Amino acid sequence: MKKKDYDIRPKLINIMEPEKNKKIFKDKIIQLSHGDGGIKTSELISNLILKYFGNKTLNKLMDSAVIKGSSQKIAFTTDSFVVNPIFFPGGDIGKLAVCGTINDLVTSGCTPSGLSLSFILEEGFAVKDLIKILSSMKKVLKESGAVIVTGDTKVVERGIADKIYINTSGIGFIPDKLDISPCRIKEGDAILLNGDIGEHGAAILGERKEFDFKSDIKSDCAPLSSLVSDIISVSSNIHALRDATRGGLASILFELSEASNTTFEIHEEKIPVKKEVRGICEFLGLDPLYMTNEGKMAVFVDKKDAEAVLNKMKKNKYGKNSRIIGRVSGKNKDKSGRVFLITELGTRRILDLQYSEQLPRIC
């Protein structure tokens, strides 16, 4: 299939002086011409995108954003979002795209500063849906304190993409004295979690037409920047942070155990799972430990600070149901991940990576 790919060159739009020309964006659907670099493109950028994300850096619409630097270490991350459905209880693809990148940044302890934002839009996409997405992005950006500093929009022919794809990248600066990374995890560390797992995965499943059930489950999608700054403010012994997104809590614990050559012991009964999520998982034969989250984070901290960090987390709106779920129980010489789960029966089993996506049961 032929893929038409129109680049918006910011310098073209620069000539248009968008700040002065800002008007109401009148089109109802996205057309190929919104991505061809001409007048329609500049209207989309000036009258819609900048309306939501305009700031001193972005408004210049330079080929590359120029941000004030520092001698600090820089955290840099990128992520693409292709979720279906694009709207779901508790969020939408735009909120996900901002939170995903913010949360990846803050796991290194940095303060997020600048994000890039790229859209790939399908011809015919409803502008009112785009506006809904832009405004929810604006809301979480404001909450997180980050801004969009550069971006790009492409429009592809109908059928080539599925409605809307978003890529966000982000940078942030890390205070010199901070060193948060998996290799700092050590024996004895406490492992904390900021609340109930599996809600994003369950909310998405509930929206898919093939599963005919109604539920009140909302995605936990949230920016965790304030939670991380709270955590850092009470302890200088935070060793590692990781947001538990795709693959769920089990997968990130396994990855961290492998990266740190240590063994973890997790207590199943201490991992909070809402009744509705448990119900859906039982019905479909899925394991909440492997369900996607978009606002949950595992925190590895020296055990002497564990209670202080836990209390601080509980005061944050994204950490009310925080728990200490386990500990780093030993060293692991053979470099493979070892995470043990103490089940509700008091039995012990390993938590492994999954080979493939969880599939609903058929028996």
Interface residues toward other proteins, by CB under 8 A: 208, 210-211, 269, 282, 285, 287, 340, 343-350, 352, 355-363
C-beta of 269: minimal distance to other proteins in Å? 6
**Nearest CA-CA partner of 341 in 287, 299, 301:** 287
Nearer to other proteins, 142 or 158 (CB): 158
C-beta of 334: minimal distance to other proteins in Å? 13
List strand residue ranges (DSSP E) for the chain, in order.
73-81, 87-88, 91-92, 111-122, 147-156, 164-174, 190-193, 238-243, 262-267, 297-301, 323-331, 338-342, 348-351
* Structure-block tokens of residue 343: 């089940």
Nearer to other proteins, 64 or 355 (CB): 355
Is the distance from CB of 153 to CB of 188 less than 8 angstroms? Answer: no
Nearer to other proteins, 1 or 345 (CB): 345
Produce one character per residue of 270-308: b if its CB has 16 or more CB atoms within 10 Å, e if not.
Answer: ebbbbebbeebbeeeebebbbbbbbbbbbbbbbeebbee
Nearer to other proteins, 230 or 258 (CB): 258
Rounded to whole angstroms, how far apart are CA atoms 32 and 34? 5
C-beta of 157: minimal distance to other proteins in Å? 20
Nearer to other proteins, 183 or 353 (CB): 353
Nearer to other proteins, 63 or 344 (CB): 344
C-beta of 172: minimal distance to other proteins in Å? 36
CB-based contacts of 153: which residues, under 8 Å, 6+ apart? Answer: 8, 34, 35, 41, 44, 45, 49, 118, 119, 121
C-beta of 271: minimal distance to other proteins in Å? 14
Nearer to other proteins, 76 or 211 (CB): 211
* Structure-block tokens of residue 125: 């996409």
C-beta of 346: minimal distance to other proteins in Å? 7
SS3 of residue 134 by DSSP = helix
C-beta of 5: minimal distance to other proteins in Å? 24
